[in-house]
Amino acid sequence: MKQRIFGLENEYGLIFSPNGRIYLPMEKVLGYIFEGLIPNSWPSNAFLVNGARFYQDTGCHPEYSTPECDNILDLVTHDKAGERLLEACLPAAEERLREEGLSGEIYIFKNNTDSLGNTYGCHENFLMRRDVDFWKVTEQLIPFFVTRQVFSGAGKVLKVSGKPQYFISQRAQHIHEKTSSSTTSSRSIINTRDEPHADAERYRRLHIIVGDSNMSEFATYLKVGTAALVLSMIEEGYLVNGVELEDPVKAIREIARDPTLKKKVRLDDARYMTAIEIQRAYLERARQYLDQEEHDATLDDVYAKWEAVLRQLEEDPMQLAHQIDWVTKKHLIQSYVDKKECGWDDPRVLLLDLQFHDVKRTRGLYYLLESRGLVDRIVQEDAVQRAMSTPPQTTRAKVRGDFIRFARAKNRSYTVDWTYLKLNGYWEETILCMDPFSAVNRRVEELLSQMPGGRFHR
């Protein structure tokens, strides 16, 4: 596919820390956050004016799904906009607590595990061609996703046999299958649920649930960008042979436990390779694809960054402390341990691990590093701020956002999903939006013409 639709879904961790003995149910806390995003209502599933979806997921986690994006930089921008929207809800939610005679702080974390060992996900979505053999694609992709954690992992301190150990991925230890239709009971590397939210005869959705949530914009860009590049080359017949894993689930866990990146995992043919060596096999094939096929220009930049990162990981991963989450966090914790002359089993280390992912920029440790210029950004903050209220202008998300603005301005009840828009009640009508690449809908344009001046002022 020369064009592709991308989407990211992030489930967030939520903690209420009361100033006193009264503890509020998490459902109530989440309700106050919802009020900040969707005033005067408490839905469990709502689309926002920027085209994104915000809802309560299993385990009382707020989940933010980006609007449809057709380029990776837009996706990174709208992923960050999700963080900012949740952060912006905190003051009003805490004020609502005080109105009820309670006080305390609400914490929202963009991570993947809690203190009880539960996990919640970051799901990647790629629109792909229906005419390509899905199962051949998945077999080709599995070694790539097993080893991609070397640059996309978020890092985690876990106790193994009573001793603290640093893992490069939070999600890897919770993967149980190669492929599965479930996202909870039998988490897999590739989810097989076939929900394209588009013309099912032409497209299907590749749904990836193995990745970590990233604070680093660079890591998100590289995580999604490399997956898009590899998917594109496989769709065009550029296959990677000789890297099939004997046991992908075992391999993903073994790689996660080795921050030196020296661990060799067993292949189907009884050979052994490191994660970086397997990544290089995909990198080399991608070079051939880019040299011979017409492609999105962004993929050239993705390739260059991918090549550089693999080289630096091989030389010394700590060179990437300004770009890769697991390296940034490891460097932060090691610096703290050295300064305080304490061990990795110190309770404060676990607190640092968690605080790294706090989305409140005046409190989160990742944002403390960002404010000091110690981590790289790849999108501008003003673009992130715009994305909080403005959808991508080149996909179906624009139609959805315009429709929601119209319905709210006219005080009309409405129902929205990925593929349709519906005005409820008197003059009820449903508008189908099956083409995710289309940023224009005739009927929505007619509705917009009813507004003063014929359109919205953004």
Catalytic residue among 57, 258, 325, 358: 57
The CA–CA distances, whole Å, from 390 to 9, 358, 409, 442 equal 18, 24, 16, 20
What does the chain come to in residues? 458
From CA 92, how far away is CA 83, in angstroms rounded?
A: 16
Q: Token pair for residue 119? A: 């996990």
Strand partners, 409: none
Q: Determine how many CB atoms are found less than 10 A away from the CB of residue 141.
A: 21
From CA 16, how far away is CA 136, in angstroms rounded?
A: 45
Q: Which helix (H) or strand (E) holds 273?
A: strand 272-274
State whether residue 11 is helix, strand or coil.
strand
DSSP per-residue codes, 137-204:
HHHHHHHHHHHTHHHH---EEEEETTEEEEES-SSGGG--EEEES-SSTT-EEEE-----SS-TTTEE
From CA 392, how far away is CA 65, in angstroms rounded?
A: 14
> Are the CB atoms for 62 and 11 separated by under 8 Å?
yes
From CA 209, how far away is CA 178, in angstroms rounded?
A: 11
**199 catalytically annotated:** no
Q: Determine phi and psi for 77, rounding to 5 degrees.
A: -60, -45
Question: Which residues are known to be catalytic?
Answer: 57
